[in-house]
Amino acid sequence: MTQPPHPSRCASHLLPRGEKDGIDRRALLAAPLAVGTLAGCDRLAVAEPTPPTVPPLKSIAPFPIGTAVMAGHFDDPAWVALARAQVNQLTPEWEMKMEYILQSLDRLTFDAPDRIAAACEREGVRLHGHALIWYSQGEQAFSGFDRTHFGRAFDRYIAEVAGRYRGKLVSWDVVNEPIAEDGNGLRDSHWSRNLGDDGYMIRAFEQAKLADPEAVLFVNDYNLENNPVKGTTFLRTVERLLKAGAPIGGLGTQSHLDIEIPAGQISRFMRDLGSFGLPVHMSELDASLRRERGGDFRSRAQRLEQQRARVVELAEAFMALPERQRFAFTIWGLRDSDSWLRRDNRDDGKDQPLLFDDAGRAKPLTAAVAEVFGRG
């Protein structure tokens, strides 16, 4: 999430660009959804080319295509129509996170995640749970306990939430964003301080496995492609947890891409990630055109070409994985106007981080990704 804060960060995981640059993901996710609105036109911009004709992504990709969802999206017919056409997996963007569900240790709220789960069942699409344990949430509710009572409350929360959706979802992000922002070691959090740096993660996976033995259990993080130091720390952490017996079933890389990273960096990380032999989830893809640091003198055409090159490299690296390891390819929003990157006050309405424009039309980027998927 100097990359954009990721959505987990998303109001949860917006760490990449967000955390570093002061974006409050919680505020962004809590803000009204920008549904179906067209951004103001740049009077100096030339007319946009005719949108390309692209087959539905889910019809050509040899793996599930996902997107992030908020319960309010189901009230937008245009979003529903686009989602039905393009995707066959949904990830709750915020409303299955602890910050939403956990009102207190004695009161859990499930209205929105239940609505999302019911919609997935009704529409016959997969549901990916996001997220059980995240460093950014739960500290206040879990404060004041000794280690024993803290652990019991930790176990109970996972049992109640993961158990509620047992058989209704295919997978969970069990531990979200455990690696430090700069990549040097693990994050310090209320979880690690009470249960140990690796201990809280091992325990979370064990409890999730007990609550839903059939779900694929993921560890998920961001900036892994963007920051080689962080990517390496993530890989070493996974290796260590697996050796300790943690029942990790899959690896999630959020892929909030910095479009200015060198060519080849994404592919190298993906090869290393795939070396574990576990399912890989491209879990929160977007690619902002904005530069969060320094002046930006790139033309729009240059930025779009950088974006295309990096997203295509990601798609090709994912396609290069063995078929059994390609768990899903999830875009963090459908239309540009749905993106968390368009929810802060600095946004000028012109960022185009996703595969469909504000009106839900495919873009040249969409066609480029579809071409890669069509090869398989």
DSSP codes, 30-84: HSPP--SPPPPPPTTSPPPPPPPP---HHHH-SS-EEEEE-GGGGG-HHHHHHHH
Query: Residue 160 has what pLDDT?
Result: 98
Query: Please, what is the average pLDDT of the chain?
Result: 89
Most confident of 9-18, 26-35, 214-223: 214-223
Q: Give the mean model confidence (pLDDT) for residues 270-284.
A: 98
Cα atoms in the 13 Å half-sphere on the side-chain side of 8: 31
How sure is the predictor about 51, in pLDDT bands with cuts at 50, 70 and 90?
confident
Choose, from 95, 99, 284, 292, the residue flagged as catalytic: 284
Q: 3-state SS of the chain: helix, strand, coil percent to 5? A: 40, 15, 45
What whole-number distance in Å separates Cα of residue 225 and Cα of residue 259?
A: 11
Is residue 262 predicted with pLDDT exceeding 50?
A: yes
How sure is the predictor about 11, in pLDDT bands with cuts at 50, 70 and 90?
very low
Choose, from 177, 225, 292, 313, the residue flagged as catalytic: 177
Is residue 20 predicted with pLDDT exceeding 70?
A: no
Top pLDDT among 332 and 24 is at 332
How sure is the predictor about 318, in pLDDT bands with cuts at 50, 70 and 90?
very high
Going from the C-alpha of 248 to that of each of 173, 199, 241, the distances in angstroms are 10, 14, 8
How sure is the predictor about 346, in pLDDT bands with cuts at 50, 70 and 90?
low
Is residue 21 predicted with pLDDT exceeding 70?
A: no
How sure is the predictor about 26, in pLDDT bands with cuts at 50, 70 and 90?
very low
105-126 burial, b if ≥16 CB within 10 A, otherwise e? eeebebebbbbbbebbeeeebb
pTM of the model: 0.88
How sure is the predictor about 48, in pLDDT bands with cuts at 50, 70 and 90?
low
Top pLDDT among 78 and 350 is at 78
Q: In CATH terms, is domain 62-374 a member of 3.40.50.80? A: no
Query: Residue 278 has what pLDDT?
Result: 98
Beta bridge partners of 130: 173
Is residue 31 predicted with pLDDT exceeding 90?
A: no
Query: Residue 349 has what pLDDT?
Result: 79
Is residue 226 predicted with pLDDT exceeding 60?
A: yes
Domain ranges across the chain = 62-374
Query: Residue 36 has what pLDDT?
Result: 37
Answer yes or no: 177 catalytic: yes
Query: Residue 144 has what pLDDT?
Result: 92
Top pLDDT among 7 and 222 is at 222
What whole-number distance in Å separates Cα of residue 137 and Cα of residue 140?
A: 8
Is residue 30 predicted with pLDDT exceeding 50?
A: no
The helix or strand, by DSSP H or E, that contains position 306, with its residue range, turns out to be helix 300-319
The helix or strand, by DSSP H or E, that contains position 133, with its residue range, turns out to be strand 126-134
Answer yes or no: 305 catalytic: no
Top pLDDT among 38 and 299 is at 299
What whole-number distance in Å separates Cα of residue 171 and Cα of residue 64?
A: 13
Both tokens of residue 340? 């968390």
Most confident of 4-18, 34-48, 314-328: 314-328
What whole-number distance in Å separates Cα of residue 91 and Cα of residue 171?
A: 10
Query: Residue 44 has what pLDDT?
Result: 39
How sure is the predictor about 4, in pLDDT bands with cuts at 50, 70 and 90?
very low
Is residue 13 predicted with pLDDT exceeding 70?
A: no
CB 252 within 8 A of CB 191: no
Q: Give the mean model confidence (pLDDT) for residues 83-107.
A: 96
CB 337 within 8 A of CB 39: yes
Residue 315: cis peptide before it, omega within 30 degrees of 0: no
Is residue 274 predicted with pLDDT exceeding 80?
A: yes
Query: Residue 37 has what pLDDT?
Result: 34
